[in-house]
A and B are shown apart, each in its own frame.
Chain A
Amino acid sequence: MAKELWKGNEAIAEAAIRAGCRCYFGYPITPQSEIPEYMSLHMPKAGGVFLQSESEIAAINMVYGASGAGARVMTSSSSPGVSLKQEGISYMCGAELPGVIVNVMRGGPGLGTIQPAQGDYFQATRGGGNGDYRLIVFAPANIQEVVDLMQEAFELADQYRMPVMMLLDGMIGQMMEPIEWKKPPVSPDDLPAKPWATTGTKEGRAPNIINSLFIDPEACNVHNQRLEEKYRRVIENEQRYETNDTDGAEVIFVAYGTPARLARAAAGLLEKEGIKAGVFRPVTVWPYPYEALHEVAIQDSVKVVVTVEMSTGQMVDDVRIGVNGVKPVSFIGQAGGVIPTPREVANAALKALGR
């Protein structure tokens, strides 16, 4: 099939419909408003439900309800809006409800700016809501990956009965790239059955209950241990990452989303100066590919590991866990919507090398 030029936000919406998602609830906010805009036009055509909720909080609770009833469902927002959704996300994890949440990050904290940023890493990977819970978090770095991962996001959400987050910076949401639709569209009729969903007993079975409230602490502990066992399985099976020119590299850049592409450009600048640099890019930022990063960092050739982020330094904590002291880890980042230039990134590596 011929390639088409798609904007990140439109592509994510179309990919969701193609993945069999038939319920979208959301509220507009820059830089992700093209998602609800696209959904408002195309979701009804696909026979689905588009609803612009009265708030982000309402939207995530609609996701909770639709998911409980067995629907393939999603919501999207940008940083301040995703903050509002945190309670609902925690409830979904407690009630073991699948769903996809898209965060197209902008500058923060608070209202911040409408420019691209990555300040929501802790919120996405550590949880902005209460309790012991995790989300699978995909961090695509190009539009093709956005559409490929979107279907997988819905599949993993159903498989593990947990929400999956697509964590994009505003640049990925707003930019255009050529893509192809590799997988055939999924019909909602062909999705695996959800015997736990509240679809009505028809007097033929005991009622299903969707709930995150446990009166008895023992029972709540058992519930938490069971969730933890599930998260272990996710850690074992769902780590994704990509490496570029890391074999025998002196400098390892670690970055996700837009900064991964800045790092590739910076590696090109360093190569001209006779320094071999590679890029390690986590595709899942939870579960984080710690062991894979460790394997790359421990190579004899590696002198420094440089983390690049559009924040003041959040993922760098995970990089330190992965590298675990075998090599020095440094950081270069800008926040609030400012994007570091490839030259700044390259210079950070030179500084780390003591040159």
Chain B
Amino acid sequence: MKLPEKQITIISGHYGTGKTEFAVNLAFAMARDGRKTALADLDIVNPYFRSYERTRELEREGIAVFVTSNFGKADIPALPPDIMSIFVNRQQQSIIDLGGDPVGARVLGYYQPQLDRIDFDYWFVINQNRVENRTIEGVVRYLRLTEAASKQRITGIVNNTHLGDETTAEVILRGDEFAAKVAEIINLPIICTVGERCFEEELKSRLNGSFFAIDRYMTKPWELGDHEGGQFAWQQEA
């Protein structure tokens, strides 16, 4: 997948689509490409599974992290003033991770004066296995509601159709086909189809969207990957 060119990339989509996992992975991909990168967690809806929970891992790779308030762990959706820097700092590329529904997208309205002055992309993540995303009509309805609440136009579709641990290549392929239909109907590009790295070889030549390989960062507390739960490998080394 071609990494974002613009100063700001906004990520939205219903919760459960995996938009946060995508946003975190995108931040890592940009930082590892040598870019000065920031991630702003502007989710005012969800209390758990937020991108700021990976602040340590993100900051370790030089990614600046902004979060809705100094009390991210409380349900106080206050927007801190330092987030403004992502709109003025042209040396840096920033990702905005929005809350997972039209209510969450409303935050963008507040930044309309800033967004009017800069180049940005606004990507909508879909997962066909979420009830609201089951049908094309459902996705389009949700996308339009999100646009209306945020007062901004979506500029691209990200297919992140998955079933958690039960994701198969077929699940991703089916979602890719579905995303292609959605994209055609609303005349938007498919930015990429997202899948865990293990699916890359099998899928990369068979997709409508280019493949974006991710690693799982937004794990549940009992999920053991290259770590023994709760901690990542580098923390174990330290």
The answer to whether A and B belong to the same complex is: yes
Residues of chain A within 8 A of B188, CB atoms compared: none
Q: Given known contacts A3-B129, A5-B130, is B47 in contact with A114 (CB within 8 Å)?
A: yes
Q: A343, B131: Cβ atoms under 8 Å?
A: no
Indicate whether B123 reaches chain A with its CB closer than 8 angstroms. Answer: no
Interface of chain B, helix or strand or loop or mixed?
loop
From A269, which residue of chain B is reached at the shortest CB distance? Answer: B228
- Cβ–Cβ < 8 Å partners of A262 in chain B: 221-222, 229
Chain A residues lying within 8 Å of B224, measured Cβ to Cβ, are 265, 268-269, 342
Whether A342 contacts B127 by the Cβ 8 Å rule is no
User: What band does the interface of chain B fall in when counting residues whose beta carbon is under 8 Å from A?
Assistant: 20 to 34
Chain B residues whose C-beta falls within 8 Å of the C-beta of A177 in the assembled complex:
164
CB <8 Å contact, A178 and B166: yes
A262 to B166 CA separation, bound complex (whole angstroms): 19
Q: Is the CB of B48 closer than 8 A to any CB of chain A?
A: yes
Q: Measured between C-beta atoms, what is the minimum distance from A180 to chain B in Å? A: 11
Does B2 reach chain A (CB closer than 8 Å)?
A: no
Q: Find A114's partner among B16, B74, B223, B229 (CB 8 Å cutoff).
A: B74
Q: Decide if A175 touches B49 in the complex (CB within 8 Å).
A: yes
Residues in chain A near residue B231, CB distance under 8 A: 341, 343
Q: What chain B residues lie within 8 Å of A342 (beta carbons)?
A: 221-222, 224, 228-230
Q: Is the CB of A31 within 8 A of B221?
A: no
Q: In the complex, are the beta carbons of B48 and A175 less than 8 A apart?
A: yes
**Does B220 reach chain A (CB closer than 8 Å)?**
yes
Q: Evaluate contact between B228 and A343: CB separation under 8 angstroms.
A: yes
- C-alpha spacing A3/B74, complex, angstroms: 33
A53 within 8 A of B: no
Q: Contacts A31-B48, A262-B221: A178 and B164 contacting too (C-beta < 8 A)?
A: yes
Do the beta carbons of A5 and B75 come within 8 Å of each other?
Answer: no
Contact among B129, B221, B230 for A178, CB-based, below 8 A:
B129
B206-228 interface bits toward A, Cβ cutoff 8 Å, 1 = contact, 0 = none: 00000000000000111110001
> Bound state CA distance, A337 and B166, in angstroms?
28
Q: A261 an interface residue at 8 Å Cβ cutoff?
A: yes
Quick one: which of A11-69 are within 8 Å of B by CB? Answer: 30-31
Residue A88 CB within 8 A of the other chain: no
Q: Does B197 contact A (CB under 8 A)?
A: no
Q: List chain B residues, Cβ under 8 A from A30.
A: 47, 75
* Whole-angstrom CA separation of A346 from B223 in the bound complex: 14
A4 interface residue per 8 A CB criterion: yes
Known: A174-B47, A341-B231, A343-B229. A261 touches B16 (CB 8 A): no
Q: Closest residue to A2 on the B side, CB-wise?
A: B129
Which of A5, A171, A346 is most buried by chain B, counting CB atoms within 10 A of its CB? Answer: A5
Whether B228 contacts A261 by the Cβ 8 Å rule is: no
Inter-chain CA distance A4–B47, complex, in Å, is: 22
Query: What residues on B are CB-neighbors of A337 within 8 Å?
Result: 73
0 or 1 for each of A185-229: is its CB under 8 Å from B? (1 = yes): 000000000000000000000000000000000000000000000
Q: Would you call A7 an interface residue if the criterion is a C-beta within 8 Å of the partner chain's C-beta atoms?
A: yes
**B129, A264: Cβ atoms closer than 8 Å:** no
Cβ A339 vs Cβ B129 within 8 A: no
- Determine how close the nearest CB of chain A comes to the CB of B196; give it in whole angstroms: 15
B73, A171: Cβ atoms closer than 8 Å? no
CB distance from A65 to the nearest CB of B (A): 30
Known contacts A6-B131, A114-B73, A342-B222; A265 and B47 CB within 8 A of each other: no
A261 to B230, CA, bound (A): 13
* Contact of A3 with B48 at beta-carbon distance under 8 Å, contacts A265-B224, A342-B229 already known: no
The answer to whether B221 and A339 have CB atoms under 8 Å apart is: yes
Report if A170 contacts B (CB, 8 A): yes
Q: Closest chain A residue to B100 by CB distance?
A: A7
In the assembled complex, the Cα of A265 lies from the Cα of B229 at a distance in Å of 8
Q: Is B70 an interface residue (CB 8 A)?
A: no
Check if A299 is an interface residue, CB within 8 A of chain B: no
A260 to chain B, nearest CB (A): 9
Tell whether, in the assembled complex, residue A341 and residue B163 are in contact, meaning their CB atoms are under 8 Å apart. Answer: no
Contact of A171 among B16, B48, B162, B165 (CB under 8 A): B48
Q: Are B16 and A265 in contact (CB under 8 A)?
A: no
**Which chain B residues in 156-175 approach chain A with CB under 8 Å?**
162-166
Mark out the residues of chain A between 325 and 355 whose CB falls within 8 Å of any chain B CB in the assembled complex: 337, 339, 341-344, 346
Would A4 and B229 count as touching, CB distance under 8 A?
no
Indicate if B114 sits at the interface (CB-CB under 8 A).
no
When chains A and B are docked, how far (Å) is the Cα of A27 from the Cα of B121? 38
CB < 8 Å neighbour of A265 from B15, B131, B166, B223: B223
Q: Does B46 contact A (CB under 8 A)?
A: yes
**Contacting pair B230 A5 (CB below 8 A):** no
A243 within 8 A of B: no
Other than the given A2-B129, A5-B129, A171-B221, 11 more pairs (CB < 8 A) read A3-B129, A3-B163, A113-B73, A174-B47, A258-B222, A265-B222, A269-B228, A341-B229, A342-B222, A342-B230, A343-B228
25 contacts between A and B (CB under 8 A): A3-B129, A4-B134, A5-B163, A7-B15, A30-B75, A31-B47, A114-B73, A114-B75, A115-B73, A171-B220, A175-B48, A176-B15, A176-B16, A177-B164, A258-B221, A262-B221, A264-B222, A265-B223, A266-B229, A269-B224, A342-B228, A342-B229, A343-B228, A343-B231, A344-B230
Top 8 nearest A-B pairs (CB, nearest first) are A341-B230, A342-B229, A261-B222, A174-B48, A343-B228, A265-B222, A5-B129, A178-B163
